[in-house]
Amino acid sequence: MIQHLATGFAEAIVDTDGDKALQLVRQALAAGVSPEQVVFEVVVPCMDHLCGLAASDGGLSVAQHFLAAQISSDVVDAMLPRFRRAPQVAGRVVIGTAVGDFHALGKRIVSGCLSAHMIEVTDLGMNVPAERFVEQALARDAQVIAVSSMMVHTARGEHGCRGVRRILRERRLEQQLKVVVGGAPYRFDERLFEVVEADAWARSAIEAVPVVVRLVGEAGGP
């Protein structure tokens, strides 16, 4: 039953058919599959596979990846209240694009992958000032701030990761909050994350998951 669901679910989200994906999940629940199985044996492996395809240019378009992440995130959100016990949160992240950057697609895909792995994500949107990243991270009891940039000048600018680092340093929050960055400029220059004083960077959505989990641990855990 699980294998049948996993196969059908994967086909549905590759086709970006959210209605079909939810219908398959409802049918599986009615047949006795648990919400926990749906999340951990279907959604998570499926997202890992699709993120891997995207990272290796496996024929999955960015638009497909975006919609797959959205559908998977919706399914996870629907399953969580049905868990027998509340799932353990693996960490909390606030994510957004830096000031001057209005490219939302990449961070939405990352958010979907993180959510599927029980990492609580607060999406701050686009054009986010450094101060808001820090304020919301503290308000949400997050361990990680994720700053996305798709242009070199927003990646290197003083209002992006560098601005976040300056505030963390001034407020002595560097042990409590870790910073991860991502986006095209970092793929072009793999040392750029050091230049902007991030703690780490991730090349793709699937790589972001273990990077964020590591940073959560370095910050003291959820």
Domain coordinates in residue numbering, the chain: 2-82, 91-218
- Label residue 73 by pLDDT band (50, 70, 90): confident
Q: Tell which residue, 13, 12, 24, has the closest CA to residue 70.
A: 13
Percent of the chain with pLDDT over 90: 49
pLDDT given at position 103: 79
* Torsion angle, alpha carbons of 13, 14, 15, 20, to 10: -20
Residues 129-152, mean pLDDT to the nearest whole number = 96
How many whole angstroms from its chain centre is CA 2? 25
Domain boundaries 91-218, corresponding CATH code = 3.40.50.280
Angle of CA points 62, 63, 68, to nearest 5°: 95
Residues 76-87, mean pLDDT to the nearest whole number = 83
Percent of the chain with pLDDT over 70: 95
53 membership: H or E segment, kind and range: helix 44-55
Q: What is the Cα–Cα distance from 95 to 114, expressed in whole angstroms?
A: 11
Question: pLDDT tens digits, residue range 145-177?
Answer: 999 998 999 999 999 999 999 999 999 999 999
Residue whose structure tokens are 């909050």: 177
Distances (CA, A) of 63 to 53, 56, 138: 13, 16, 32
Q: Are 150 and 62 in contact (CB under 8 A)?
A: no
Residue 211 has pLDDT above 80, yes or no: yes
115 membership: H or E segment, kind and range: helix 105-116
Residues 107-119, mean pLDDT to the nearest whole number = 84
pLDDT given at position 141: 96
Query: In this structure, what token pair is assigned to residue 107?
Result: 């961070």
Supply the pTM of this predicted model: 0.78
Most confidently modeled range among 9-13, 22-26, 51-55: 22-26
Residue 199 has pLDDT above 70, yes or no: yes
Query: In this structure, what token pair is assigned to residue 74?
Result: 């919706």
Question: pLDDT tens digits, residue range 18-40?
Answer: 899 999 999 999 999 999 899 88
Angle of CA points 52, 58, 63, to nearest 5°: 85
- Label residue 55 by pLDDT band (50, 70, 90): low
Q: Are 97 and 148 in contact (CB under 8 A)?
A: yes
pLDDT given at position 102: 81
How many whole angstroms from its chain centre is CA 113? 5
Q: Which fold has domain 2-82?
A: 1.10.1240
